[in-house]
Amino acid sequence: MGRWDTAQIADQTGRTFVVTGANSGLGAVAARALTKAGATVVLACRDVTKGEKVAADLGERASVRRLDLADLASVRAFAAELDTPVDVLINNAGVMAVPLRRTADGFEMQIGTNHLGHFALTGLLLPRITGRVVTVSSGAHRAGKIDLADLNWEHRSYQRWSAYGQSKLANLLFNRELQRRLTAAGSPVLAVAAHPGYAATELQSHTETFLDGLMSVGNRIFAQSAEMGALPELYAATAADAKPGGYYGPTGFGGTRGYPGPSGSTAAAKDDVVARQLWELSEQLTGVPVLSAY
């Protein structure tokens, strides 16, 4: 597919995008590229102050609304107050390898933020979404395992990296099941997933261990820029040839860097039985029914 970059984003004038976690990193880069292409972008951010600084640089087509994915009340409030149709939702926000913490609703923080918060947000906005739902996963899904009996680490000994892998695998299973249900419902909306490879962002600085320092060095030496890391999600959100249920990421050096293209995933990420079971459990936990008839 060649070297796809932001210069190939078609004119997005008149289209509205919601980007979660757009106050920094990949989300801020994606918002910048989309507004440059003519789109109206809603920066959905937990840190509104940071979000407003980003929006100020993007111009009048960028606005900021508070969204805390670790609090379902905030997710519901955001969806209720968003009074516009949405062409594309980009589920970009995330946390990585944090110590054991709980969301406002008692979920383990990584599955709660990375998956359940976005699951609820997607479900609440879906009646207004006309184009695509893009969900950002990670190569770390390869180390993930979905434990349906203990999704929130209430009985197991907490392992932060295993919890991160589980949440990123959940992202891909959600994307797969969402596309299946959209197709069954006869909806033209596409579900597309992406991952950034190894990109230098603030995501790697919140483990609260010595790893923060090591990953900071790794970001400077090995990682590609956030601008490159955001390309796969921008491709998934705007490219005419993005496939329903597709998964895109960097195509160079083991999928860690380079320009975007189709990305491989594990057999666990294609398990339709677990995808359906996770979907049903997510509906129960969040209280948000999403295309339940399918």
Q: Would you name the residues annotated as active-site residues?
A: 164
Could you give the CA distance from residue 119 to residue 107 in angstroms, rounded to a whole number?
13
Give the position of tokens 């390309």.
Answer: 231
Sheet holding 247-252, edge to edge: 62-66, 40-45, 16-20, 86-91, 129-136, 190-194, 247-252, 257-262
Q: Do 114 and 94 touch, CB atoms closer than 8 A?
A: yes
Could you give the CA distance from residue 189 to residue 244 in angstroms, rounded to a whole number?
9
List the structure tokens of 157: 């000994």
Q: Do 17 and 39 touch, CB atoms closer than 8 A?
A: yes
Could you give the CA distance from residue 75 to residue 73 in angstroms, rounded to a whole number?
5
The one-letter amino acid code at 90 reads I
List the structure tokens of 251: 């195509």
Q: Do 171 and 113 touch, CB atoms closer than 8 A?
A: no
Q: Do 242 and 248 touch, CB atoms closer than 8 A?
A: yes
List the structure tokens of 59: 């111009």
